[in-house]
Amino acid sequence: MNQQRLPDRIHRDWEAAGRSWTARLCRTILHCMGWRLIIDLPGVDKVVIVFYPHTSNWDFVIGLLAKFGLAVPVTWAGKDNLFRWPFTGLWTWLGGIPVNRREHTGFVAHMVAEFSRRKVLLLAIAPEGTRRRTDYWKSGAYRVALATKVPLGLAFIDYKAREVGVGGILYLTGDVAVDFAALRAFYSGKTARRPDQAGPIALKPDAAKTY
């Protein structure tokens, strides 16, 4: 038998947004599944949200319930081939932005342009880029945040604690060693659904420099 679930912890800036019947329904579903929602993110107009660890399709399901349960207008970038008929409208409604991930140099420019043209953009990116274990994070989220001068939102899913949400923000220094030490400290102890598939929090050596 699981221990009694602690109450949700929601930053006061988001309390009003979560009062709709849709938000309450999604929170109820998560609570019935034994999950607690956390949002320590202050009310910001623009942020790049990194989501870690990501090792299972269940992360997407629980993450969407959290998104609607907290009524946070999170947008996410997805491979353009996901946005084919008949799913184009659905993914767009769920906040998706189609990008061509086959062009390595195009993603950052595309996202920087989105930040430039929008007044509000809370962009979520899974920095591992895959559910399978990888030795390095993709650098896109880090580069977008630096280029747009917005903070990183620290989203997480923890299957051991049964908690999901955003645990705060990190203002980047541009020094990869310093910034990734802070990221590792925050995500330490967060348990993936498949722990063996959660890779280390690091960039490739050729990207580990001061931006």
CA torsion angle 121 210 169 80 (round to 10): 40
Between CA 200 and CA 192 the distance in angstroms is 12
Is the Cβ–Cβ distance between 210 and 172 less than 8 Å? no
The answer to whether residue 196 sits within a structural domain is no
The per-residue pLDDT for 197 is 92
If one counts every other C-beta atom within 10 angstroms of the C-beta of residue 166, the result is 26
Between CA 18 and CA 30 the distance in angstroms is 14
The per-residue pLDDT for 211 is 59
The answer to whether residue 22 sits within a structural domain is no
pLDDT at 192 over 90: yes
Task: Give the structural domain span for 96.
Answer: 38-64+73-190
The answer to whether residue 27 sits within a structural domain is no
The per-residue pLDDT for 135 is 87
63-113 pLDDT, tens per residue? 989 989 988 888 887 777 878 888 888 888 878 888 776 665 588 888 999
Question: With bands split at pLDDT 50, 70 and 90, how would you rate the model's confidence at 1?
Answer: very low
104-157 pLDDT, tens per residue? 558 888 899 999 999 999 999 888 877 788 888 989 899 999 999 999 999 999
- Count structural domains, the chain: 1
pTM confidence score: 0.86
Question: With bands split at pLDDT 50, 70 and 90, how would you rate the model's confidence at 58?
Answer: very high
The answer to whether residue 177 sits within a structural domain is yes
122: β partners: 47, 74
Between CA 82 and CA 79 the distance in angstroms is 6
The answer to whether residue 15 sits within a structural domain is no
Report residue 107 as tokens.
């993603």
Question: Residue holding tokens 């430039």?
Answer: 116
DSSP, res 20: S
The answer to whether residue 4 sits within a structural domain is no
pLDDT at 52 over 70: yes
